[in-house]
Amino acid sequence: MRPQNKMSASVAPAKKKARSFTAPSVIPGFGPTFGFTIFYLSLVVLFPLSMLVLRASELGLSGLFAVATEPRVAAALRTSFFISFAAAAIDVVFGLVAAWVLSRYEFPGRRFLDAIVDLPFALPTAVAGISLAALYSPNGWIGEPLADYDIKIAFTRWGILVALVFVGLPFVVRTVQPLIAEIDAELEEASATLGASRAQTVWRVLIPPLAPALLTGFALAFARSVGEYGSVIFIAGNLAYVSEIAPLLIIVKLEQFDYAGATGIATIMLAISFSVLLAINLIQAWSQKRFGHV
Amino acid sequence: MSEAVAPSIGVPAPRSVTQEAPLTRWLLIGVAVGFLGLFLLLPLAVVFTEAFAKGAGAFFASFDEPDARAAIWLTLIVAAIVVPLNAAFGLCAAWSIAKFSFPGKSVLITLIDLPFSVSPVVSGLVYVLVFGAQGLLGPFLSAHGIQVVFAIPGIVLATIFVTFPFVARELIPLMQEQGTVEEEAALTLGASGFGTFLTVTLPNIKWGLLYGVLLANARAMGEFGAVSVVSGHIRGLTNTIPLQVEILYNEYNIVSAFALASLLAGLALVTLGLKTLLEWRYADQIAGRRRH
């Protein structure tokens, strides 16, 4: 790439000056494509999002605090965050097992299961929502046997947990899986020759380098779960103070034309998901330094 | 595999040191299959079972409803507007980011990814804040009799927002990997700029582009949260398939709800199938598998 750049610069030095924003290149079309990119991004994403920031700044910190401490809002935020946290933790445990099994063992149906892991990405949330609700309702395939033991899942907080476990699972599996596939066999062999049992090798040699990826998967699943709406509302029961999630409360506030309340909740949720994203980037930067991979 | 080289004299082959004991292995497989079956396969199976719970007649009758047909049409129209727009954007963004170097590139990539980290409900909300009756442009729009929120334009905008990054984030790493050498060769041999794009770049990225378009389309047709905020839920007018599914389900019209839902579930299965095929067949041409 470099020699060509030098050449174009020496052939047309005037051109370089005219486009000082980019490094010199013979490739055409930067102006229109970059212009359209910025225009479309600003129009569709940045302008609407900045409206949210503007409205939130009108509320001010005290206004945001007032919204957040409103009992119903506080309850919804708590429900969303705690259950998302629990769901992401469950996803980390079972996602790790699933990723391990799918990439290291050979058994009938493995390829099919591997493909179906992405189902929560592809299945529309409303479809997942009604089918989970049907499955866990008192006359559903899972709900009915459980009802005999007086266990209720649909229309309780447990229902929210089930839906969020579904939503977050692929994030963990797909983050960890490539790393498990790339584990260097020499590490395991060295550990075994030095006298470690298989369990010790797995626990003390193989899992620790996966920790950053597991944390990233956890954070991605958590961030997605906090904002999830469609797959939750059908199974949740949506009882105020008990099983009402924050995104639903935004809709409730909008229906009451309480724009300030809706903006407040949305701002708090955004602030938290951006902090989570920032945390992911820090984890990955650290992991890059410590393990040489993300 | 130690089994492959084991002497066949009845003595069990010693287990490889890099494998778990058979019992552990089968236990782990059991846990993984059980978990994936419970959380992924059962919900999928329920959709089709419930859709056909009262027979094929009731299933097909669900699609004769005018509201259901209107919902299917609206979903197709919205996807037909949104997916090409976002694909064009993805191509432009990838071209300018991957083929040129300029300051602030990583900030731009982060901003393109932004819609993925925003809750669908919030994605809808921001458009209400701009175009709604109390929004920034609300008074102007109502004075001119233009309706955006609670009408089709709002649905299109919200869908553009939630599917915004799909094509771009698929193409940017792919085109960065491919560099600019081939384009430079074509240009120095006298090809025009657009000709170079069509005959050199496009063939290199076609599978990656298709992959991104597939994912964007699945999301565009299935989006619920964002669309739900801006749609107004007017039957036969502003209901997409997911919204119609919600209404039918809440009216206890379970067979019709699941019949419509099975269309979307079928779309999801086709998407997953094509995605797996692309990843398997053209792995090197779609820039690897990354998180979504």
Our CA-based measurement puts residue A60 at a distance from the nearest CA of chain B, in whole angstroms, of 17
pLDDT tens column, A65-124 = 999 999 999 999 999 999 999 999 999 999 999 999 999 898 998 999 999 999 999 999
Q: Is the dihedral of CA A130, A131, A135, A139 positive or negative?
A: positive
Place of tokens 């039918």: B248
- Chain A residues in contact with B181 by the CB 8 A cut-off are 1
Interface A-B, measured as beta-carbon pairs within 8 A, has a size of 301
B173 CB neighbour count, 10 Å cutoff: 18
Contact A101 B93 (CB under 8 A): no
B149 Rama sector, left if φ>0, alpha if ψ -120 to 50, beta otherwise: beta
CB-based contact, B289 to chain A, within 8 Å = yes
CB-based contact, B198 to chain A, within 8 Å = no
User: Collapsing DSSP states into helix, strand and coil, what is residue B147?
Assistant: coil
Contact B40 A46 (CB under 8 A): no
Note the pLDDT of residue A7.
Answer: 43
Q: Is the dihedral of CA A16, A21, A26, A29 positive or negative?
A: negative
> Looking at the partner chain, which of A37, A52, A105 has a beta carbon nearest the beta carbon of B89?
A37
CB-based contact, B278 to chain A, within 8 Å = no
ipTM score here? 0.88
Per-residue pLDDT of chain B (292 residues; tens, 9 = 90+): 444 444 445 555 666 777 788 888 899 999 999 999 999 999 999 999 999 999 999 999 999 999 999 999 999 999 999 999 999 999 999 999 999 989 888 889 989 988 988 999 999 999 999 998 888 888 888 888 888 888 999 999 999 999 999 999 999 999 988 889 999 999 999 889 899 999 999 999 999 999 999 999 999 999 999 999 999 888 888 999 999 999 999 999 999 999 999 999 999 999 999 999 988 888 777 764 443 4
Our CA-based measurement puts residue B191 at a distance from the nearest CA of chain A, in whole angstroms, of 11
B236 CB neighbour count, 10 Å cutoff: 15
* In chain B, residues 14-53 whose CB comes closer than 8 Å to chain A: 17-21, 24-25, 28-29, 31-33, 35-36, 38-44, 46-47, 50
What's at B244, amino acid-wise?
Q
Tokens of residue B209, six digits: 């582009």
Contact A132 B21 (CB under 8 A): no
Note the pLDDT of residue B243.
Answer: 95
Q: Which residues of B64-78 are buried (b: 16+ CB within 10 A; e: fewer)?
A: ebebbebbbebbeeb
| R_g of chain B, CA atoms, integer Å | 25
Mean residue pLDDT across chain A = 88
Note the pLDDT of residue B75.
Answer: 96
Contact A127 B242 (CB under 8 A): yes
- Chain B residues in contact with A94 by the CB 8 A cut-off are 31-32, 35
pTM for the full predicted model = 0.88
> Looking at the partner chain, which of B31, B33, B89 has a beta carbon nearest the beta carbon of A40?
B89
Which uninterrupted H or E stretch holds B18?
none
Distance, CA of B123 to CA of B63 (rounded, Å): 30
Note the pLDDT of residue B6.
Answer: 45
Distance, CA of B282 to CA of A257 (rounded, Å): 50
Region A175-199: mean pLDDT is 88
Contact A223 B117 (CB under 8 A): yes
Contact A94 B35 (CB under 8 A): yes
- Chain B residues in contact with A171 by the CB 8 A cut-off are 291-292
Place of tokens 């999830």: A228
Our CA-based measurement puts residue B241 at a distance from the nearest CA of chain A, in whole angstroms, of 10
Contact B96 A37 (CB under 8 A): yes
> Looking at the partner chain, which of A121, A192, A223 has a beta carbon nearest the beta carbon of B292?
A121
pLDDT tens column, A215-253 = 999 999 999 999 999 999 999 988 888 899 999 999 999
Distance, CA of B75 to CA of B18 (rounded, Å): 51
- Chain B residues in contact with A259 by the CB 8 A cut-off are 128-129, 132, 134
User: What is the C-alpha end-to-end distance of chain B, expressed in Å?
Assistant: 34
Note the pLDDT of residue B12.
Answer: 59
